[in-house]
Structure 1
Amino acid sequence: MPRERNPLLPLLPVALLLPLATACGGSADADGNAEAKTVTVTVGYQSKTINTVTAGTLLRSLGYFEEELAARGKKDGTTYKVEWQDYATGAPITAQMTAGKIDIGSMGDFPLLINAARGKQLGQPTRLVSVTGYNLRGGLNTVVSAPGSPLRSLAGLRGKKVSTSVGSAADGTLVRALRQAGIDPDKGIQKLNQQPSVGASALTAGSVDALSQFVAWPGKQAFEGKATALYDGAELNLPTFHGVTVREKFAKQRTGILDDFLRAQRRATDHLRAHPVTAAESVAKVTGLPAEVVYLYNGAQGIATFDPELRPELIAALKEDVPVLKAAGLVGDVDVDAFVDPAPLRRAVRSAAYPKAGTAKPELWLKGASTTRSFDSPKELLKAANGADVRAAYVPDALTGTLWFADKAVWVADGSELRAFVTPASAKRYVDAHAGARVIRYADAVRLAS
């Protein structure tokens, strides 16, 4: 079936006609000059894409970038200002960057490739200089269906209406997952190209059968009782991440400012990792997202691991994304090695990398508590939660390790053990492979644990 026009992709003729606004005020030109007394740096970010908060929402609220620039200003006598521009997806950030109107932006891995392609095409090349958050298995993207839906696996999507954002990492997950399920992603479903909020509303209204989206939309819809997980992106076992891209001209002419940004991002990452509950509540306050949802992704055991390092496995995954976008006609060839530039981070931050993420543990967040408690098993979590004043309880999928809300998970009793799964399909696979194992209700799991 013919595809809808993609509203998320920049309309290039319009973008080309946009007037080039200055990235720097005073007498500075679009890329800055030594005569400027006031320099304005424009940062594009996605407040509700909470895997980017260390380069966006959280960084902005902490004021670390402004602090770094103020220190620079004391030395060189220049006044530095930051203009933050919030967008729903990465595509408009790319459009503004290629028009010279945004200097630094953050977005997901698929949009980053489109950013690289459009920048080269329009003579405004960009460079990937850091990562915000990642999941090595791909758990940041999820396909969800409506509560009570008869759908139990991706196989049931054949011929159905599915909402996603074409060109996003969530669309990439959908395409790959459908192919694994033996469904042609172009002809086997009716794909609706919609922004995340529109798709979420469509699912609630019943005008689509499923929604494939990136962090934090699937978790939000599930938490609010508006969706049930149908496919866990971690089943692909392919890394997905978000990162920071910068205009090459800006990076060359304002090297020190880029260094300041990367140092500020590292400070914000330190803050998030040291104070995950406080950070989640801060992001929730700014975005309007439930703090429990933010913590699902950004918490101590969260689905996302925050680390600015450009890890080799993430860059390798980025290269594997190129053919998917090429097949969709969204990019041509992309020279990933030329796009990735680790030099600024190495220059700005000493020992940028954190230890790799370990296996997630069940975690309990009680109402009124400023910290959470982790457990060695799902049974211990449920026992502690029984009768307690619980704000949120999280449990990792027994197969993929993806964290999910305990009361939204699919529970399986296997002898004396209790195991949780994000989707009915993965729970069924486990039950089919383990004699005596059976799917049970959450309330029964709590009773058995106690």
Structure 2
Amino acid sequence: MKRTAVAASAIVLLLPLSACGGDAEAGDGSTVTVTVGYQSKTINTVTAGTLLRSLGYFEKQLDALGDGVTYKVVWQDYATGAPITAQMTAGKIDIGSMGDFPLLINAARGKQLNRPTHLVSVTGYNLRGGLNTIVTAPDSALTSLKDLKGKRISTSVGSAADGTLVRALRRAGIDPDDDVRKLNQQPAVGASALSAGSADALSQFVAWPGLLAHQGKAKVLYDGAQLNLPTFHGVTARADFAQDRPAVLDAFLKAQAQATDYLNTHPVTAAEEVAEATGLPAEVVYLYNGAHGVATFDPVIKPQLVSALKQDVEILKSAKLIGDVDVDSFVDDRYVKKALGATYAQRLAAPPPAAAGEVWPKGSERTRTFASPAALLRHVAAHRDTVRAAYVPDATTGTPWFADNAVWVADGEELLPFVAPATARAYVDRHDGARVITYADALERAS
């Protein structure tokens, strides 16, 4: 029987149970439905979700199996990882993508409910933790973490952004349970709360901090990369699905690798495609997913990420969201190693892209890179009307940020960008004569 692959979108509550899960088959036994849970707005999962779906690579890989089966791919979009885990442990989602903290909850719930899952690949990561950011309102008087004592902070409890908040507050000598009022909110609700003044700060994962900054609705208080602890997003699969349908999981991981290569080779085009699918501004997508963006995309499971995952367990245990998690048993790189073949070792050894400033000209499908912040500023000053977006890496953490939203420091002839005011002040305190200046002043000095 000639096999075809069909992409379908569905809302899980409207799906009949027989249409969910890799084991679901049509009456004649010739059709298998594969259900993929993803988060379109969490754009560091796009190689296993939004971009992969738009490119159709998974369906093409399934079509190439030639096993006489008709595969129907159902894509389910969620705001966070929690509902994906709920549907996976109910046997209704086969493959899902989410951040590192939700992955641990996924592992814990799977074991608890006798529906074990495994981390089978990685999507986007940042080895310093720059995927999460704490922001405040543009006119807020808050300038450091210590200012958050007694304040209302919106976050999504159990998310990597909440983990960043807890760790950052502890380092600042603030008890995250007793010294602040934590508001457990979905990202969109938290963004609205920040704008309305019912939250004093917002700690969230991509792409919310960048989106709010781009819209002029927030400014950075804390760059998650200051923790210098890796954060990442990954792909989890039900253990029974992986065992029963190894060829299907292999097809997914091969397709994910293709989508990763596409994103890395065509970063501007990929950003535009993700923007069109999600409604996010392409400039924000590129901030995170660009050639020198906050995230690095690679499906291999790096040892640094596994180590960080083990350190994350304590944060979730202290919040009473999980018990002990055997991370080594949860991580299963056999499938991605098989899918990538000889390239796995090459990818594993490859370093992340070097930090660099970028300018995205209007109407162009290419960006320009610059060796120094001053060179980038000179270009922007000379082409003010034709610059779509400009990105600069933080001088201490390397986290890319919008040039016009960065905190700029003049140190002699040097012009240095910082994501957060605290890191800029720390630099000024260590360098005599250095001082914080405005973006307009930085442009003027550069030109």
Quote how far apart the aligned CAs of 1:85 are. Answer: 0.1
Partner of 1:430: 427
Q: C-alpha separation between the residues in 1 aligned to 2:124 and 2:194?
A: 27
Quote how far apart the aligned CAs of 1:19 are. Answer: 5.8
Could you tell me which of 61, 70, 84 is aligned with 1:68? Answer: 61
Within 5 Å, give how 1:74-113 maps onto structure 2. Answer: 75-113=66-104
Q: C-alpha separation between the residues in 1 aligned to 2:312 and 2:306?
A: 10
Quote how far apart the aligned CAs of 1:348 are. Answer: 1.2
Amino acid at match of 1:360: A
In the alignment, structure 1 residue 443 sits paired with structure 2 residue 440: yes
In the alignment, structure 1 residue 255 sits paired with structure 2 residue 252: no
Quote how far apart the aligned CAs of 1:387 are. Answer: 3.3
| Secondary structure of the structure 2 residue equivalent to 1:76 | coil
| Secondary structure of the structure 2 residue equivalent to 1:407 | helix
Amino acid at match of 1:66: E
In the alignment, structure 1 residue 55 sits paired with structure 2 residue 56: no
Contact map agreement 2:296 2:353 (CA 8 A) in 1: no
Q: TM-score normalised to the size of structure 2?
A: 0.94
Contact map agreement 2:20 2:93 (CA 8 A) in 1: no
Partner of 1:404: 401
Amino acid at match of 1:222: A
Quote how far apart the aligned CAs of 1:70 are. Answer: 1.0
Quote how far apart the aligned CAs of 1:137 are. Answer: 0.1
Amino acid at match of 1:114: I
Amino acid at match of 1:371: R
Q: C-alpha separation between the residues in 1 aligned to 2:445 and 2:354?
A: 25
| Secondary structure of the structure 1 residue equivalent to 2:249 | helix
| Secondary structure of the structure 1 residue equivalent to 2:71 | strand
Quote how far apart the aligned CAs of 1:20 are. Answer: 7.4
Between 1:353-362 and 1:378-387, the stretch displaced more is 353-362
| Secondary structure of the structure 1 residue equivalent to 2:101 | helix
Amino acid at match of 2:123: T
Q: C-alpha separation between the residues in 1 aligned to 2:130 and 2:24?
A: 42
Contact map agreement 2:409 2:437 (CA 8 A) in 1: yes
Partner of 1:211: 202
Partner of 1:310: 301
Quote how far apart the aligned CAs of 1:315 are. Answer: 0.1
Contact map agreement 2:211 2:284 (CA 8 A) in 1: yes
Q: C-alpha separation between the residues in 1 aligned to 2:333 and 2:421?
A: 41
Partner of 1:144: 135
Within 5 Å, give how 1:259-278 maps onto structure 2. Answer: 259-278=250-269
In the alignment, structure 1 residue 385 sits paired with structure 2 residue 380: yes
Partner of 1:418: 415
Amino acid at match of 2:35: T
Contact map agreement 2:32 2:71 (CA 8 A) in 1: yes
Quote how far apart the aligned CAs of 1:25 are. Answer: 4.1
1:204-231, Cα deviation, whole Å (9 max, x unpaired):
1111000000010000000000000000
Partner of 2:25: 26
Q: C-alpha separation between the residues in 2 aligned to 1:245 and 1:77?
A: 27
Quote how far apart the aligned CAs of 1:81 are. Answer: 1.1
Quote how far apart the aligned CAs of 1:367 are. Answer: 0.3
Could you tell me which of 173, 177, 191 is aligned with 2:164? Answer: 173
Q: TM-score normalised to the size of structure 1?
A: 0.93
Q: C-alpha separation between the residues in 1 aligned to 2:74 and 2:140?
A: 44
Quote how far apart the aligned CAs of 1:26 are. Answer: 3.2
Quote how far apart the aligned CAs of 1:356 are. Answer: 1.5
Q: C-alpha separation between the residues in 2 aligned to 1:420 and 1:128?
A: 36
Q: C-alpha separation between the residues in 2 aligned to 1:22 and 1:113?
A: 23
Q: C-alpha separation between the residues in 1 aligned to 2:175 and 2:17?
A: 42
In the alignment, structure 1 residue 115 sits paired with structure 2 residue 80: no
Q: C-alpha separation between the residues in 2 aligned to 1:123 and 1:422?
A: 44
Quote how far apart the aligned CAs of 1:175 are. Answer: 0.1
Q: C-alpha separation between the residues in 2 aligned to 1:341 and 1:144?
A: 35
Partner of 1:375: 370
> How many equivalent residue pairs?
426
Within 5 Å, give how 1:25-44 maps onto structure 2. Answer: 25-27=24-26, 36-44=29-37
In the alignment, structure 1 residue 135 sits paired with structure 2 residue 126: yes
Q: C-alpha separation between the residues in 2 aligned to 1:76 and 1:305?
A: 35
Contact map agreement 1:359 1:401 (CA 8 A) in 2: no
Quote how far apart the aligned CAs of 1:168 are. Answer: 0.1
Q: C-alpha separation between the residues in 2 aligned to 1:82 and 1:36?
A: 16
Partner of 2:332: 341
RMSD: 1.3
Partner of 1:279: 270
Contact map agreement 1:25 1:36 (CA 8 A) in 2: no
Amino acid at match of 2:401: W
Contact map agreement 1:20 1:101 (CA 8 A) in 2: no
Quote how far apart the aligned CAs of 1:153 are. Answer: 0.5
| Secondary structure of the structure 2 residue equivalent to 1:386 | helix
Within 5 Å, give how 1:279-298 maps onto structure 2. Answer: 279-298=270-289
Contact map agreement 1:138 1:239 (CA 8 A) in 2: yes
Contact map agreement 1:42 1:103 (CA 8 A) in 2: yes
Partner of 1:6: none
Q: C-alpha separation between the residues in 2 aligned to 1:274 and 1:82?
A: 26
Amino acid at match of 1:408: N
Give % identity. 69
Q: C-alpha separation between the residues in 1 aligned to 2:367 and 2:94?
A: 38
Quote how far apart the aligned CAs of 1:386 are. Answer: 1.1
Q: C-alpha separation between the residues in 2 aligned to 1:97 and 1:77?
A: 27
| Secondary structure of the structure 2 residue equivalent to 1:138 | coil
